Amino acid sequence: MIYTVKRGDTLYDIATQFGTSAEALARVNNISNPNNLSVGRNLFIPLERITTYTVKSGDSLYSIARANGIPLNTLINANPQITNPSRINIDDVINIPDMRETIEVNGYAIPTIQQSVLNSTLPFLTYLSPFSYNATAQGTLSSLSDERLIDSARASGVAPIMVVTNISSEGGFDGNIAHEIFTNPTTQSNLISAIISILNDKNYYGVDIDFEYLLPEDRDNYTNFLRALKVELNKINKPLSVAVAPKNRDNQPGSLYQAHDYKAIGEIADRVIIMTYEWGYVYGEPQAISPYSEVDRVIAYAATKIPTNKILMGMPNYAYDWTLPYTPGTSARTITNKQAYELAFENNATVMFDPKSRAPYFNYTKDGVGHVVWFDDALSIGSRLDLVTKYGLAGLSYWTINNFDATNWTVVSDTFKIAKVI
């Protein structure tokens, strides 16, 4: 559950109110100093998950099922030791089944990730995706120091996914590189062979294609490339995921969107990662990074084109600090969600919650300059997790996991069980 900090609250008082400890609240809410509580902060209150229940006078299986939000037949099936469900005895121990849905979670990781951060995050992942192998116009791939990540993933039962992009040697996604790959049969064949070789040599579980800012005329060419790659992947039993821009209609204008054919990609790929973030972006106007209303629009559209049990909904793991007044072309500063709260406390800022975007923000002034920070907290994360259940999605995909957000992972694991595929 969520508790919003009020003026005069202390972490100890809040913990006492909910029957937990200040230390536990601090741990799951990224609080380094228990005295640093900003007014308006949404705290996640972890509640104990009941796995057994001891029957008391007046109990019935029906009343126990109702109290725990469990269908009666599910409770009966979880307790085969009960031969007559209409008769239970005081002090009988009843098994309470875990009703959380199981989802898949992918995490993109830059290979420089600290080992401690990686180790803390792996228990919450199905897939780990080191970022990235960059394709060239000759059909070759850049190198990547990914061995440590692959070994760590497999040791934790997490499936490593090879990521291939059209990022140029100068940096940035390059549609012309992709065009050469799509339209030159030799280049395309070379690239597919290079992908298959690395998949086998490094023991990757599967591959993720993240081609962005493609030429609009390459819509069908991109689909054909993915189809050709999928044929070869099927021969070695490796799954294909594809990352796509967050569209809310098929003909959405812009080079980020036009060549991503949701219906065709959904037919080819085993998983489709929808990058539902960056409405608020580093060079854009201050706003929520993943506003609920916009994410909902995108997922609602995607659900009409892609089987929902293939969709991984994108989740950001970062915050932005904009200078005010905002000047077009100026950049925001990227910080972590934990750093956002530290900034709020240091500057005595009250955290606000925008009801439309369902996201927290705050304003502060430093050295005479105004700032606004948009970030994620337990309430905003939990709001978007509801979309996974609403649309029956396969799960989530994080950009990136290079910092550990204890609040995020506590909320996710409290809401869902995390699937393991190896």
Is residue 134 within 8 Å of 189, Cβ to Cβ?
A: no
Q: In angstroms, rounded to a whole number, what is the distance separating the alpha carbons of residues 230 and 242?
A: 11
User: Which one, of 248, 162, 177, lies nearest residue 212 by Cα?
Assistant: 177
User: Which one, of 338, 358, 393, 422, lies nearest residue 125 by Cα?
Assistant: 422
* Strand 271-274, strand 240-244: pairing: parallel
Q: In angstroms, rounded to a whole number, what is the distance separating the alpha carbons of residues 102 and 99?
A: 9
212 catalytic? Reply is: yes
User: Which one, of 315, 213, 211, 197, lies nearest residue 257 by Cα?
Assistant: 213
CB contact set of 62 (below 8 Å; sequence gap of 6+)? 72
CB contact set of 240 (below 8 Å; sequence gap of 6+)? 206, 207, 208, 209, 226, 229, 230, 233, 268, 269, 270, 271
Q: In angstroms, rounded to a whole number, what is the distance separating the alpha carbons of residues 17 and 379?
A: 19
Scanning the structure block, which residue is given the tokens 């005081």? 90
Which entry of 104, 212, 294, 342 is annotated as an active-site residue? Answer: 212
User: Which one, of 271, 260, 358, lies nearest residue 314 by Cα?
Assistant: 271
User: Which one, of 155, 242, 158, lies nearest residue 207 by Cα?
Assistant: 242
Three-state secondary-structure class, residue 204: coil
Annotated catalytic residues are 212
